[in-house]
Structure 1
Amino acid sequence: MMAKYGACLLCLSASVVGSAQAESLAISALGNLDLSYTQPQRVASYEGSPLPAQVEILPGNDYWISTPENIQQVHFLVGQGQRVSKGQAIVKLTGPEVFHYLAQVEAAASLYQLAKSRYERNKPLLANGSISAEKWREISQDYFTTHLEYEHMQHFMERVHSTDAATDSLVVAAPVDGIVKLNAISGPYMAGDQLFSMVPNNSIRVKVNVPTGQSHSLSAININQCHIAIESLSAIAEGAFVTAWSSAVPQECNLLLGQQMTVVPEYQKAVYLLPKNSVFSWEQDSQVFTLSDNQLNALTVDILGSTPEQYIVASDQDLSQLQVLSQSVAAVKGIMLGLGGE
């Protein structure tokens, strides 16, 4: 079971460890006060106060596609930030440089095949000593050089959706499913300039800064009706906060890359629900009275938040096994003050 905050939650700080504790009182010292008790309800998790968050790319996971040549005309076929599928046409490149590049690819393929045939043909000759080591070095160098050049060009050609010799154009496709980020510039695209980048669907995350003291119990975040698990937590604090990253954002959450919002954190920690009238303040602490052997004992609790009628509290003791005073709490505190408790 999970405890949830209301819309107007109280953000109450945890009590100071080792601070003064209210004294104990015998039930017989309370006269005719009406006393009643409640047994706190234990829950496994709770929702905390809203935190600021933003939809971002998990660093290091996006794909970059650059132009292999100077290009006269670049025409994007999709919109900025559009979600696309692997193999979908993204941009059309047009101009004589395209024809020149395609001719270079064909030439590189032919040179590589010739060098490969020569390499394989002469390999047995090296084994029986029919060619010198110097000649073999020349053959090997030619083979590996042409291989690397061809592979470099082939990497780009793997992204080519189609070519059109009549218009000296080619169309580049998306390498993965995801969101496309177009690099639209006003001037010409030079060789090596970025055309677009792809953000894979599984790299779209929610980044949230969580208070350091609660970071290790953060298990998920809730955005409207969307529940997203927390996947990783930074080991470096930024002031009083730690950065947490969610798992991949489901498409049905309808979140936009770069969108800022507030999220409701879900903490995986055993806490207790108590009626608000059971909790009282003693110096800088929040405390409750527990019943044991006809005596009321004050116990310090940490208030983590609230619902309209209850506090969500944490304690070093298992409160679910205790009887907590829920009626005449203020009167008991007053009697204790009269006895010199504060």
Structure 2
Amino acid sequence: MAIMLGACVLPATPAMPAPAPVPEEIPVGVLVDLSTGQTLFAREADRRFVPASVTKVMTAYTAFKLIEEGELRLDMPYLYPASLEEEWYAEGSNMFLRAGERPTIAQLLLGITTVSGNDASVALATAATGSLDSWIALMNANAEALGMRNTHFGSANGFPDGGETYTTANDLALLGAAITREYPGLYRRFFGHRGLRWRDIAQSNHDPVTGRVDGADGMKTGYTNEAGFTFLGSAERDDRRLVMVLAGAPSGRERDDASRALLEWGFDNFEHTKLIDRGTIVSSAAVQDGSAARVNLRLESDLAVALPKDIDVDSWKIETVYRGPLQAPIAAGDSVARLRLTIDGESVLEAPLVAAADVPQANLFQRIANAFVSWVQ
């Protein structure tokens, strides 16, 4: 059954929740609901800043990718050289590796994700590719592939590098989404640990949400004098995963309190609702030079939305958006349009629409018939 959705009014439903609990002193932030793709909160989300140790999430992502591709083994040992000990021992956050030790890739990853080891990050990079330059090139290639268009990495660990490393909250949210979705097993194995012991040195994880917010499982804090206090975090409840970023907080306490409050706000003030099932024919689009004048459009996946609670809204509007008319030939399954949901004129989310059938290029007689229909109309 087709649902024609040029513009339709839905029953009154919740609209805008209470304001997000992020103080104005924190200049940058974003909260994304991965189950719907919605941004629930944004403040200067495309503003560039220095990520500091949050850089290490990309180092972990790059390692996970190599592991899944069979290019890197978790049990592979690495002989830690004296040159790295001299450069990185006790330099900022540290695993406190010593020359001659043979940590495995798995141990280095835990040193990165749990205690933010600057030394462990450089050791992993060197073990995996033979040089920091090669590793950083991989990090930047991965950032480009993920669509992190306002990001560049100049180091494996986020140590101050004169501004060569920068990112945005939206770009870090893309990275958070990718590492949790693409490598869920490795993510669960290496993120969310509360502490790490290496030799006789025991250290705690500074992650402010794991163990404090129900469903929270990582990811990474960051701090430099230039960058302030930053956090990329995530939590999952009832099949809803939220990813959040806060940057530039004036103190660790403000960052930590706001991080916990923002995740709780996202879960408490929104509920997940499926509006339309995948495969539903929702509209049609005009076709030029095709064997048919129009093609039906269907949803490639469920249309789901995180609905704010407690405040009524007058109407929703759902509309089909495409550059038209579409040019034949068109194959069934081609992504040709988008379904846009707005509330009170504000875009809430978009979902891809695909062609429900093939539309071959018109033959001579079909072109004449189409021209006649167009002329009559």
Shorter chain as normaliser: what TM range?
under 0.3
Larger radius of gyration: 1
More strand by share: 1
